[in-house]
Amino acid sequence: MSKDQKKLVIAIDGYSSCGKSTIAKDLAKVLNYIYIDTGAMYRAVTLFAMKNNLIKNKDIDLKRLKELLPQVKITFKKNPVTNLNETYLNGENVEKEIRRLDVSNKVSMISAIGFVRERLVELQREMAKEGGIVMDGRDIGTVVLPDADLKIFMTAKPEVRAERRYKELKEKGEEVSFEEIMKNIADRDHMDTTRKESPLRQAGDAIVLDNSNMTPEEQLEWIIDLVNKK
């Protein structure tokens, strides 16, 4: 079976700052598939909660968030210049806002909430029904799309991930320290792997990609080879 015979459903999971989104976007572009950034969906809900003052330090107004969640509309629209999907929250382009460090520091709290995950998983499954999609996140192969045709679990050394994230934020003009990024990654790893709702774990039939010493081009070639074998 080749990608020409069937539109595959491809699930990419893994730790934060592993480059999941970058490789998923590139793969979708090469295959002419739809890319669904589930992490952006959780970031959008986090941004919504922040803008509505629902997060105070480490406390979330769960009652109010549950009441307001039906108002949250998340869509992806292709940027005609970059040809990449960008995230819209209630009709507003929030692609840059959701990548800020203050959002990153709170997204694991929001993604651990059962009713948030339940709602977004519904939306994600609906998006994947027709096939021909690449979806990345933390629990795609284990919870969201357990029957995906190809599952990849990405990982890399924490210091490598921190360096990549540090460079990315500095290039965007954000004032951050390497130590701050390392702490953010360690905190997110802990929360993602120990949370009660859909913790980050490798699916039994997922193929591991440790990209600590790989370029994006090498990773893409590696994954396309797997797709061609399908």
- Residue in 146, 132, 164, 144 with CA at minimum distance from that of residue 22: 164
* Average pLDDT value over all residues in the chain: 91
d(CA 160, CA 162): 5
Question: How many C-beta neighbours within 10 Å does residue 217 have?
Answer: 9
pLDDT tens, residue by residue, 50-102: 999 999 988 999 999 999 999 999 988 888 887 778 899 999 999 999 999 89
Walk me through the domains of the chain, giving residue ranges and CATH numbers: 9-225 (3.40.50.300)
Q: How far is CA 74 from the centre of its chain?
A: 14
Could you tell me if 149 and 230 are in contact, meaning their C-beta atoms sit under 8 angstroms apart? yes
Structure-token match 């480059």, residue found = 19
Say which residues have a Cβ less than 8 Å from residue 8's Cβ, sequence separation at least 6: 33, 131, 132, 149, 150, 227, 230
Query: pTM value?
Result: 0.77
Cβ–Cβ under 8 Å, residues 15 and 161? yes
Spatial separation of the C-alpha atoms in residues 143 and 178, rounded to whole Å = 33
Phi and psi torsions of 208, nearest 5°? -80, 135
What confidence tens digit (pLDDT) does each residue in 192-229 have? 899 887 889 999 999 999 999 999 999 999 999 999 98
| Six token digits for residue 41 | 């969906």
Other residues' Cβ atoms within 10 Å of the Cβ of residue 27 = 21
